[in-house]
Homo-oligomer: A and B are copies of this chain.
Amino acid sequence: MIDKVFPTPDEALHDVFDGATIMFGGFVTAGTPTNLILALQRRGTKGITGIANNIGLGDKLDVLCEQRQLAKMIATFAIRASGARQSLFEEQYRRGEVELELVPQGTFVERIRAAGAGIGGFLTRTGLGTLVQEGKQIVNVDGVDYLLEKPLRADFALIKAFKADRLGNLVYRGAGRNFNPAMATAADVVIAEVEHLVETGELDPETIGTPGVYVDRVVQCEPVPVRWYG
């Protein structure tokens, strides 16, 4: 029987290499693979290109800045309007120590979906006439201009779900879905942190949010308590 379960987050990350491109699921506190992020911090992998919706004050991802593990972030939220307190990422960004590519959130997730779905690119109006347009091809279809956006994939995706079975089927909960299902389709190695593990066959087929075909490794972890930083 297929069994994708790994005993610890650290073992699940055993082949993550320096310079890897890594996706991180999660939207602020929801669906964030905190245990995997902490294991990646312990592992000390350097030169990471991170792909995540947000890296900010209070985000667990910011811990990767403690030892300067990030070389670049592709994100939608990174620099806060208020400058009262700064994240480590913001400090390093201001010092020119880390690169940042900001992407509109809808384009961000659609680029990830495209990579997973074999779509070579898609046309969107989001970003037209703004800085986002720079360096991108404009395609006119039936008299309307669109930006051509390209797929975004990664070597690894670290994601979080509520439940899994040993085959890697995932069930999400609430707003914990967010970027996790799309990222699960768009990386060479997909590692899922889950709160509950059940035997294959115990999940209701109607409720599976990510079919096991997309998931390479599963680790069951106690969720790390989070506090709202709003």
Q: Using CB atoms and an 8 Å cutoff, list the residues of chain A in contact with chain B.
A: 110, 114, 117-125, 139, 141-142, 144, 146, 148, 150, 172-174, 205-207
Contacts and interface: CB of A to CB of B under 8 A. Distances in A.
Contacts of A144: 120
Copies per assembly: 2
Contact of A119 (B118, B123, B142, B174): B123
Contacts of A122: 114, 119-123
A174 B148 CA distance: 36
B123 A121 contact: yes
Contacts of A119: 110, 122-124
A120 B205 CA distance: 33
A125 B121 contact: no
Contacts of A206: 172-174, 207
Contacts of A123: 119-122
Contacts of A141: 120-121, 148, 150
19 contacts: A119-B124, A120-B122, A120-B123, A120-B141, A121-B122, A121-B123, A121-B141, A122-B122, A122-B123, A139-B139, A139-B148, A141-B148, A142-B150, A172-B206, A173-B206, A174-B205, A174-B206, A206-B207, A207-B207
A124 B139 CA distance: 15
A93 to B, nearest CB: 28
Contacts of A110: 117, 119
Which 10 residue pairs across A and B have the least CB separation, nearest first? A120-B123, A120-B146, A121-B123, A122-B122, A119-B122, A121-B141, A120-B141, A119-B123, A119-B124, A120-B144
